[in-house]
Structure 1
Amino acid sequence: MKNRTNKNFLTTLLSLVAVVLMLSAAAIVRDGRIFGFNLRDGGSAEHGRHGVQASSAAPTANNDTLTVMPDGAIVVNTRLLAKDVQGYGGQVPLRIHIDKSGVVDSIVAEPNAESPDFFNHASAILAQWQGKTVDEAAAMEVDGVTGATFSSRAIITNVQRGLAYAKQHAALGNAPDATGSVDVSGASASSGGFTLGGIVALIVVLMGAVVPLFVKNRRWHYVQLSLNVIVLGLWTGTFVSYTLLMRLFSGGVSLATLGTLAAPLLMVLVAMLYPLAGRPGHYCAHVCPFGSAQELAGKLTRRKPRLSPRLNRALNVFRNVLWGVLMVLMLTATWTAWMDYELFTAFLYTSASVWVIAIAVLFLVLSIWVPRPYCRFVCPTGSLLRS
């Protein structure tokens, strides 16, 4: 028995190592970074799916952070100022255009790896600073966008740091020699600080991670499932997905982002490390909000049609083939946008695609009769965690 246990542990450990290597390779291929370290030559290449170039007029003076235009306006690039600030997919650098009178003319996004739907939703807040003087804009308190929390909070911090830099180097027409160093103490609070939703989400994840280890109570299990759906899903949009995993492996975790990432990071640790302790599937059964929603939907009726062994095998083959195809697309960077359309994102209903929401609802309805159909026959994240 002991030899069998040791063999199972070794197999699980090797699977975990394979998962870590796979995600590391994908992060390097897609973003050229691993745990926040830029592996691309020069470290300044701009890659991503969003971005607007600054004015094409030739600058009179510039460095990596501040550009002075011929008409006396300045453009602040936050790439170096906020290199420790991460959205959901990575950095969200901005270009802040300030006219010669010191008024914010516009703020545009540099290329980034955020999910397009969520970033476009979050970037609506950029207009709030437009038309304000630098002092007025720097003093503003702007709230994050529900349904795009990571992206919007990172945007806010980028703007704060860019405006702080502009205030320190307000001598228009004379670009400083600095490469982005600026005292921005406290400016990262909106990105790295804990929020009420983040604290509650962390508590719910802790409950799902610990309580089932000691309490085998069906009623309590249903309470946990409900909290997962309401708090982790609908309120905070906290779940393990390929987008989150790639964000962690590409950008890493810093003190500035620890508050925002505390609950998601604990989820990832539960999903990846619990199998080593002989608890495979713990995350899926006790923490995952979409899995919880499917299980709760299944309690609406006891009449469950029995899937034939042939159909069950065919569905499992479909799941494995789908996962294999998606892994090839991810590891070759052929098409990584599929990560934005995992059904977990349906909880972010204010930003999610209509098709994602519709398919998620379809699976929830199907789960009334078929236990956890998405988890069992589709979920790419679940396939990764079980590989």
Structure 2
Amino acid sequence: MAIAESIVLRLAGVRTSFRFPDPIQVVEVRRFLPEADRLVRDRRHPRLLRVLDRKGRWIGLAARTAPTTDDLVGYQGPIDTLLVMDTEARIVGIALRKTYETARYVRYVVEEDAFMTFFNDRTLAELARLDLSEAEMEGVSGATMTSMTVAEGLVRTAQELQQQQQLEGSDRGPRSQTAGVVVRVRDLGTLFVLGLASVISLTHLRGNRSLRVAFQLVLIGYLGLINGDLLSQELLVGWARSGVPWRTAPALVLLTAAALAVPIASRRQLYCHYLCPHGALQELIGRRSRWHWRLLSRFSRTLQRLPGLLLAAVVGIAITEINFSLSNLEPFEAYRLGLAGAASLTLAAIGLVACLVIPMAYCRFGCPTGALLRYVRLNRKSYQISRGDLLAVILVATVLVLRMAR
């Protein structure tokens, strides 16, 4: 896809988007400019469309963030956003077009009027100079990554348009550089929790029970319920398909990198044992329970295969691109208050009830993300070929065959 876009750019001199091939339609613009009748491409700038009324009078401008933001990933994928302006290049409204993002997060952003109108009445030049951190843009609660991706996409698109210095009748101002990493207060909080977890896991502090309980409450309350920074298969598959959002979610990217790298380098399960809010909640509940069942060893071994089978199913869904929300296989969306689906809430409830009688029941018998982290963890048998290795080879071969068949 990227190669095809590069060829079109070289031959036609115009960037195109194969992710978002659908052009802007006049009906989309009419929502903000009711008198809009047709759209014509601006002669001086091919990325801009002039909005004309029935009499052919110029009444505004329209643009979209694709292809500028095709590499800008939210929680699961990029977003194409419509940008409508008046004749003075002053924003009158934005709208989300096609997205590869999780539908629930998109809906949450669209329904937040404060966010959707935040950019209104700014000129294109003002938008290009906008510093999201200084403007205290924290995004939409519960859908922060999605909303911040939209916000940065608008800024980057405005910067690209301004750098051409061809917009007639606008406040041009100085050229702006491409937006860099956006670090917000929530990112600093997540990084602090990550650093504290690393210190606890690598020192004698891990044996301090009071400190561990207090830290687990922080994981559940802050990292889980407030930030919603939990690893999941939906997250990892989304990044594998669309790229890593290191600009809009740097803390979550670092947390993910640490979760994958530390088990390989040190044999320690940093994320599962010291960072997972759901694991922390299970441990706290299990400690207070007086009813612990001892499963038959054969039954326990059978159940322990379930996370690996779920992980294989996730890979199968990912490579075949079946229309299925992977969040339905894990309980982690339950921590995104107001956004969680019935499947995630049900899994969370069942897992928490189960841990009353079976310690860490979900972690041991139901978590595909945990299975992935256990698979990459360095151990004494890492240099031997296992069934997991054979399954991984089969899945990779399947991916290659499907790619070649397209």
TM-score, scaled relative to structure 2? 0.71
Inter-CA distance 360–312: structure 2 relative to 1 (3 Å threshold) = same
Matched, 1:44 2:17: yes
Match of residue 265 from structure 1: 253
Inter-CA distance 339–91: structure 2 relative to 1 (3 Å threshold) = same
Match of residue 149 from structure 1: 144
Give 1:166 deviation, angstroms.
6.8
Correspondent of 1:342 among 319, 330, 345? 330
Match of residue 60 from structure 1: 40
Gaps in structure 2 of 5+ consecutive residues: 9-15, 28-36, 376-406
Inter-CA distance 131–376: structure 2 relative to 1 (3 Å threshold) = same
Matched, 1:201 2:190: yes
Contact 1:89 1:114 in 2 (8 A): yes
Give 1:88 deviation, angstroms.
1.6
Contact 2:327 2:333 in 1 (8 A): no
Inter-CA distance 170–341: structure 2 relative to 1 (3 Å threshold) = farther
Q: What is the distance in 1 between the residues matched to 2:120 and 2:268?
A: 54
Q: What is the distance in 2 between the residues matched to 1:100 and 1:364?
A: 57
Give 1:85 deviation, angstroms.
3.8
Q: What is the distance in 2 between the residues matched to 1:130 and 1:100?
A: 16
Contact 2:20 2:80 in 1 (8 A): no
Correspondent of 2:65 among 78, 81, 92? 78
| Superposition pairs of residues 52-201 of structure 1, within 5 angstroms | 53-55=24-26, 59-62=39-42, 65-71=47-53, 72=58, 73-83=60-70, 85-100=72-87, 104-123=91-110, 124-125=112-113, 127-129=116-118, 132=121, 134=123, 138=127, 143-162=138-157, 170-171=167-168, 183-185=175-177, 188=179, 192-201=181-190
Count of paired positions: 334
Give 1:236 deviation, angstroms.
0.9
Q: What is the distance in 2 between the residues matched to 1:133 and 1:212?
A: 48
Correspondent of 1:282 among 263, 270, 276? 270
Match of residue 373 from structure 1: 361
Q: 1:51-79 deviations in whole A, cap 9, x for unaligned?
A: 99532665322465311233323211112
Kindly provide the amino acid, as one letter, of the partner of residue 118 in structure 1.
Y
Contact 1:134 1:163 in 2 (8 A): no
Give 1:105 deviation, angstroms.
4.5
Q: 1:255-295 deviations in whole A, cap 9, x for unaligned?
A: x44xx322x22322232222223424332111111111111
TM-score, scaled relative to structure 1? 0.74
Kindly provide the amino acid, as one letter, of the partner of residue 59 in structure 1.
L
Correspondent of 1:238 among 191, 210, 229? 229
Give 1:149 deviation, angstroms.
0.7
Match of residue 26 from structure 1: none
Q: Which has the larger radius of gyration?
A: 2
Q: What is the distance in 2 between the residues matched to 1:269 and 1:86?
A: 17
Contact 1:104 1:129 in 2 (8 A): no
Q: What is the distance in 1 between the residues matched to 2:257 and 2:137?
A: 32
Counterpart secondary structure, 1:110: strand
Q: Which deviates further from its counterpart, 204-213 or 102-111?
A: 102-111
Give 1:99 deviation, angstroms.
4.1
Give 1:199 deviation, angstroms.
0.9
Counterpart secondary structure, 2:288: coil
Matched, 1:252 2:232: no
Larger RCO, structures 1/2 (Cα 8 Å, 6+ apart): 1
Give 1:327 deviation, angstroms.
1.4
Inter-CA distance 386–54: structure 2 relative to 1 (3 Å threshold) = farther
Q: What is the distance in 2 between the residues matched to 1:229 and 1:322?
A: 25
Kindly provide the amino acid, as one letter, of the partner of residue 171 in structure 1.
E
Q: What is the distance in 2 between the residues matched to 1:165 and 1:116?
A: 28
Kindly provide the amino acid, as one letter, of the partner of residue 364 in structure 1.
L
Give 1:328 deviation, angstroms.
0.9
Provide the identity percentage.
Answer: 23
Contact 2:216 2:277 in 1 (8 A): yes
Q: What is the distance in 2 between the residues matched to 1:88 and 1:338?
A: 13
